[in-house]
């Protein structure tokens, strides 16, 4: 069976980001790569959004960028500016197309549908598959969204809505998220932070329809795209072995308090690329331990006091937006961390710390 220097298991966001980073830095001139990916076609299936706190390779796949956003709780709306750290949305269709077209040109890179088609014995493996089957009691961010088109210009495309908590909470944390791509096109998502075993929240289609028709007061619209998914708000169990590194969600690249993963994947890819010549001896890359610790406490509060979360999220954005964006994007210093911590309701968080 054919052997390769490197194997990437899963040609999704993390697998392709890594392959692209290595390819543009000419790491496959005399090395070979096998990408294991079962899907037949790459079609748009996700929208990756984030505050651009650092440069990335996919500026040409950005569908839209915003400098303003809002957060709502019942009877209160907060408007926030983010001029220096814009919020970007990447179209996964453009992302897949750009990467596949680049990788196809290098004959040292091959795609396979199944790992059994190649020998893995002497390869270094980057794995993006995780086993999360036993995690029924853990928290997930689960959501569904539709892109809609209207005949008339009804959206203000200069401002997106990060979280609208003015909706049913059903004993969990629930909000709507609206990304207006233009004056007559927007992605509208219903998002839940809860345990997955609770199926009573999964009437996503009805929730979105009701929100669009009775909250946004839009009656005449066309659905042009749909995405549904779930992001684990816990670290999947995946043991790092010699000659194997986990990447993407499987590699712990999700920020647990937010679900943001895309930019962490890009940072991880750069780290691997910088160290590829000595990869088996390189320290494992991880999200800074201080965020792991703070997010754990945050999620304990979320689980115990879901009804308090809309106010906590809103409060977080009081004051400088740069501060909170940097904190949520793993780029904060000690003083920024302190500022955020001081905004939180003290006793609830101290209680959660000692749980
Ligand atoms: C719908 C959705 C929207 C998201 N939006 C955001 C966002 O706005 N911002 C953000 O930062 N993060 C977001 N995330 C979180 C995260 O960025 C994505 O989940 C991202 O795709 C994670 O990359 P990954 O490579 O770990 O997983 P994936 O992109 O899911 O890649 C895994 C790949 O493995 C393949 N595969 C499956 N089975 C096998 C097998 N047996 N062998 C080999 N390969 C296999 C799959 O086909 C897939 O291509 C979102 C997640 C989802 C699900």
> What's the pLDDT score for residue 320?
83
Which residue matches tokens 């390869």?
Answer: 123
> What's the pLDDT score for residue 267?
98
- 322-333 pLDDT per residue, tens: 899 999 999 998
> Which two structure tokens, joined as six digits, stand for 108?
């040292």
Q: Nearest C-alpha to atom 4 of ligand 1 is from which residue?
A: 48
Q: What is the DSSP letter of 37?
A: -
Pocket of ligand 1 (CB under 6 A): 9-15, 36-39, 46-50, 128-129, 227, 229, 231, 248-250, 259-262
- 115-156 pLDDT per residue, tens: 999 999 999 999 999 876 656 678 999 999 999 999 999 999
> What's the pLDDT score for residue 134?
53
3-state secondary structure at position 99? helix
How far is Cα 223 from Cα 226, in angstroms, rounded to an integer? 8
* Under 8 Å between Cβ of 35 and 68: no
How far is Cα 79 from Cα 318, in angstroms, rounded to an integer? 10
Write out residues in the chain with pLDDT < 50, as ranges: none
Q: Nearest C-alpha to atom 5 of ligand 1 is from which residue?
A: 48
Confidence (pTM):
0.96
Q: What is the DSSP letter of 354?
A: T
> What's the pLDDT score for residue 241?
78
How far is Cα 355 from Cα 353, in angstroms, rounded to an integer? 6
Q: Nearest C-alpha to atom 36 of ligand 1 is from which residue?
A: 10
**Closest Cα partner for 284 from 251, 259, 256, 248?**
251
């Amino acid at each position: 069976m054919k052997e390769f220097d490197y194997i990437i298991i899963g040609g999704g966001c993390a697998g392709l980001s890594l392959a692209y980073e290595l390819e543009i830095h000419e790491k496959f001139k005399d090395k070979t790569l096998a990408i294991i990916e079962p899907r037949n076609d790459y079609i748009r299936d996700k929208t990756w959004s984030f505050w651009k706190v650092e440069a990335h390779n996919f500026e040409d796949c950005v569908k839209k960028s915003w400098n303003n956003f809002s957060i709502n709780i019942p009877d209160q709306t907060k408007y926030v500016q983010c001029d220096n750290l814009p919020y970007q949305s990447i179209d996964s269709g453009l992302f897949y197309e750009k990467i596949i077209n680049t990788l196809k040109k290098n004959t040292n890179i091959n795609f396979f549908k199944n790992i059994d088609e190649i020998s893995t014995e002497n390869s270094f493996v980057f794995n993006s598959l995780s086993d999360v089957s036993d995690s029924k009691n853990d928290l997930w961010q689960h959501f569904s969204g539709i892109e809609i088109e209207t005949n008339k210009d009804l959206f203000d495309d200069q401002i997106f809505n990060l979280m609208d908590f003015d909706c049913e909470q059903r004993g969990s944390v629930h909000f709507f998220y609206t990304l207006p791509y233009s004056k007559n096109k927007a992605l509208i998502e219903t998002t839940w932070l809860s345990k997955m075993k609770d199926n009573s929240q999964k009437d996503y289609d009805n929730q979105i329809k009701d929100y669009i028709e009775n909250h946004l007061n839009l009656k005449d619209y066309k659905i042009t795209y749909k995405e549904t998914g779930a992001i684990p708000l816990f670290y999947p169990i995946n043991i790092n072995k010699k000659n194997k590194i986990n990447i993407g969600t499987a590699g712990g690249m999700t920020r647990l308090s937010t679900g943001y993963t895309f930019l962490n994947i890009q940072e991880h890819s750069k780290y691997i690329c910088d160290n590829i010549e000595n990869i088996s001896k390189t320290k494992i890359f991880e999200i800074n331990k201080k965020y792991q610790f703070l997010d754990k406490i945050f999620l304990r509060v979320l689980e115990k006091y879901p009804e308090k979360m809309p106010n906590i999220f809103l409060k977080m954005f009081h004051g400088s937006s740069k501060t909170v964006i940097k904190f949520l994007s793993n780029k904060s210093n000690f003083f920024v961390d302190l500022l955020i911590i001081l905004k939180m309701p003290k006793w609830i968080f101290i209680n959660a710390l000692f749980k």
